[in-house]
Amino acid sequence: MASNAAIDASGLVKRYGETVALSGVSFDVPRGTVCSLLGPNGAGKSTAVRILTTLTEADEGTATVAGLDVATRAAEVRSRIGLASQDATVDGLLTGRENLIMIGELHHIGRRVATERAAELLEQFSLVDAGDRLIKTYSGGMRRRLDLAATLVAHPEVLFLDEPTTGLDPRARNELWDVLDILVDEGATILLTTQYLEEAERLADDIVVIDHGRVIARGDSRSLKRQVGGDQVFATVVDPATLGRVSELVGRTAGAEPEIDEGARQVRAATAVGPRAIAELATALAEAGIEVEDIGLRQPTLDDVFMTLTGHHAEEVEEGADE
Ligand SMILES: Nc1ncnc2c1ncn2[C@@H]1O[C@H](COP(=O)(O)OP(=O)(O)OP(=O)(O)O)[C@@H](O)[C@H]1O
Ligand SMILES: [Mg+2]
């Protein structure tokens, strides 16, 4: 029992008929920290969130949120949490302001307080101008910001955000991250699910990687990247005939076995020396008179983490048993 944990999940199992959505998931989230559940489609992220937010019950295992058992004290848990679920829950036929006030009233904070709180949140989420427009006229990014504002109306102790930025364009995603940064700085406790390592890295203190309903790795982004071998230096050549020669030079500067990707006319290799590898490789290539299209340093992606930990790509949807 981690009494300081805002979320403590232990051995959660959930089956839907033949499908095992979760097969023994355990993790905890200390108060005042941000934890990201990172995994591809169908990994079990939403199922875990649904159990922790009392929307469904686990078949096996236990969980507490804000120190309360989600199975036996569901109503109390609900009064202490905020949930932005993956499917938009706000009513499109209300204005943003009306929606926030309605949620306040559902939480019994009174119309006057709810009205004040709505104005405060519209301000904080840059929705003042849109506040009196119908939600169905909002862009995807505005809708997600309103979703997030809605979860905060009653000052929850723990926030659950299920894929808060999936489907947003890069600019809207960045705007949402900026808003989340503020919550994080204020000391919010957040469980956030995502398919993007970049998002987990930007926002989370701790990342729990899940795949096929199992926790396959846990740590901060640096330790996860270390597990997949760190940065890779790469060179893309103009003439495919030079790939062999470039491979030797990449291997020598990186100090690791290079990999040739003929389709991409690219050679890459793990490197521990960071940006210095680019400088050395550029010099070596220039001295050898080899023309390159691109050269650089690439950080591991979610896909690299998945390839290393599971042997399959993150976006590969696998049907049935994989062993
Ligand atoms: N209500 C349900 N009935 C039947 N199967 C379900 C149900 N909910 C989830 N599943 C199955 O459980 C598995 C995990 O689903 P879940 O929604 O938790 O994944 P996820 O990680 O949230 O995926 P995504 O990134 O696509 O949202 C999937 O195989 C899914 O098809
Ligand atoms: Mg989901």
**Tens-place pLDDT, residues 197-220:** 889 989 999 999 999 999 999 999
- Please tell me whether residues 15 and 122 are part of one structural domain: yes
- Please tell me whether residues 186 and 66 are part of one structural domain: yes
- Per-residue confidence (pLDDT) for residue 137, from 0 to 100: 93
Q: Which of 123-132, 248-257, 262-271, 312-321 has the lowest mean pLDDT?
A: 312-321
- Please tell me whether residues 135 and 269 are part of one structural domain: no
CATH of the domain at 275: 3.30.70.100
Indicate the residue type of 38: L
- Please tell me whether residues 43 and 189 are part of one structural domain: yes
- Per-residue confidence (pLDDT) for residue 88, from 0 to 100: 65
Residue nearest to atom 28 of ligand 1 (CA): 42
- Please tell me whether residues 119 and 256 are part of one structural domain: no
- Please tell me whether residues 123 and 245 are part of one structural domain: no
Cα distance between residue 244 and residue 260, in whole Å: 8
Provide the sign of the torsion angle of the four alpha carbons 187, 188, 190, 194, taken in this order.
Answer: negative
Distance 134 CA to ligand 1 centre (A): 31
Distance 96 CA to ligand 2 centre (A): 25
- Residue 53 belongs to a domain: yes
CATH of the domain at 76: 3.40.50.300
Per-residue model confidence as pLDDT tens digits over 60-106: 999 999 999 999 999 999 999 999 987 766 677 899 999 999 999 98
- Please tell me whether residues 54 and 108 are part of one structural domain: yes
- Please tell me whether residues 291 and 222 are part of one structural domain: no
User: Whole-model pTM?
Assistant: 0.83
Q: Quick check: 38 and 200 in contact, CB under 8 A? A: yes
Cα dihedral 72, 193, 124, 110, rounded to 10, equals: -20
| Structural domain boundaries enclosing 26 | 5-226
Q: Is the CB of 42 under 6 A from ligand 1?
A: yes
Report the domain count for the chain. 2
Q: Is the CB of 318 under 6 A from ligand 1?
A: no
Residue nearest to atom 29 of ligand 1 (CA): 42
Per-residue model confidence as pLDDT tens digits over 125-162: 999 999 999 999 999 889 989 999 999 998 899 999 99
Distance 142 CA to ligand 2 centre (A): 20
Picking from 195, 226, 257, the residue at the C-terminal end of a domain is 226
Distance 163 CA to ligand 2 centre (A): 7
Q: Relative to the CA of 37, which ligand 1 atom is closest?
A: 21
Q: Is the CB of 194 under 6 A from ligand 1?
A: no
- Please tell me whether residues 130 and 192 are part of one structural domain: yes
- Please tell me whether residues 260 and 164 are part of one structural domain: no
